Amino acid sequence: MAVVLILVMIVVGSVLFHVLSPWWWTPIASNWNYIDSTLVITFWITGIVFVAVVSFMAYCVFRFRHRPGNRAAYEPENRRLEVLLAGGTAVGVAAMLAPGLVVWNQFITVPDDAVPVEVVSQQWLWSFRLPGADGKLGRAETRDVSPDNPLGLNKNDASGLDDVIIEGGELHLPIGKPVRILLRSVDVLHDFYVPEFRAKMDMIPGMITYFWFTPTRTGSFEILCAELCGIGHAQMRGTVVVDEAADYQTWLGQQQTFTQLMASSGEPPPAN
Partner 1 sequence: MVEIPSGSAGAIPSAEVEDVELYHPKSWWTKYVFSQDAKIIAVQYSVTAISIGLVALVLSWLMRLQLAFPGYFAFIDADHYYQFITMHGMIMVIYLLTALFLGGFGNYLIPLMVGARDMVFPYANMLSYWIYLLAVLILAAGFFAPGGPTGAGWTLYPPQAVLSGTPGGKDWGILLMLTSLIVFIIGFTMGGLNYVVTVLQGRARGMTLMRMPLTVWGIFTATVMALLAFPALFVACVMMLFDRLLGTSFFMPAIVEMGEQLQHGGGSPILFQHLFWFFGHPEVYIVALPAFGIVSDLISTHARKNIFGYRMMVWAIVIIGALSFIVWAHHMYVSGMNPAFGFFFATTTLIIAIPTAIKVYNWVLTLWRGDIHLTLPMLFALAFIVTFVNGGLTGLFLGNVVVDVPLSDTMFVVAHFHMVMGVAPILVIFGAIYHWYPKVTGRMLNETLGQIHFWTTFLGTYAIFFPMHYLGLLGVPRRYFEMGETAFVPPSAHTLNIFITVMALIVGAAQMVFLFNLVWSLFRGREAGGNPWRATTLEWQTPQTPPAHGNWGKELPVVYRWAYDYSVPGAAEDFIPQTVPASGGVTREVPA
Judged by beta carbon, residue 152 or residue 252, the one nearer partner 1 is 152
- Biggest CA–CA distance in the chain, Å, is 97
Residue 237 backbone dihedrals phi, psi, to 5 degrees: -115, 160
Comparing CA positions, the residue from 25, 31, 32 lying closest to residue 175 is 31
Judged by beta carbon, residue 22 or residue 253, the one nearer partner 1 is 22
Distance from C-alpha of 104 to C-alpha of 270, rounded to nearest angstrom = 43
Q: How far is the CB of 29 from partner 1 (least distance, A)?
A: 11
Dihedral (CA of 122, 125, 130, 131) sign: negative
Distance from C-alpha of 38 to C-alpha of 41, rounded to nearest angstrom = 5
By CB under 8 A, name the one of 14, 159, 214, 216 that touches partner 1: 14
Judged by beta carbon, residue 163 or residue 227, the one nearer partner 1 is 227
Judged by beta carbon, residue 74 or residue 254, the one nearer partner 1 is 74
CB 153 within 8 A of CB 265: no
**Residue 189 binds to partner 1 (criterion: CB under 8 A):** yes
**Residue 3 binds to partner 1 (criterion: CB under 8 A):** yes
**Residue 153 binds to partner 1 (criterion: CB under 8 A):** no
Contacts (CB under 8 A) with partner 1, residues 201-260: 201-207, 209, 222, 224-235
**Residue 108 binds to partner 1 (criterion: CB under 8 A):** yes
**Residue 116 binds to partner 1 (criterion: CB under 8 A):** no
Judged by beta carbon, residue 72 or residue 246, the one nearer partner 1 is 72
Comparing CA positions, the residue from 171, 163, 167, 184 lying closest to residue 125 is 167
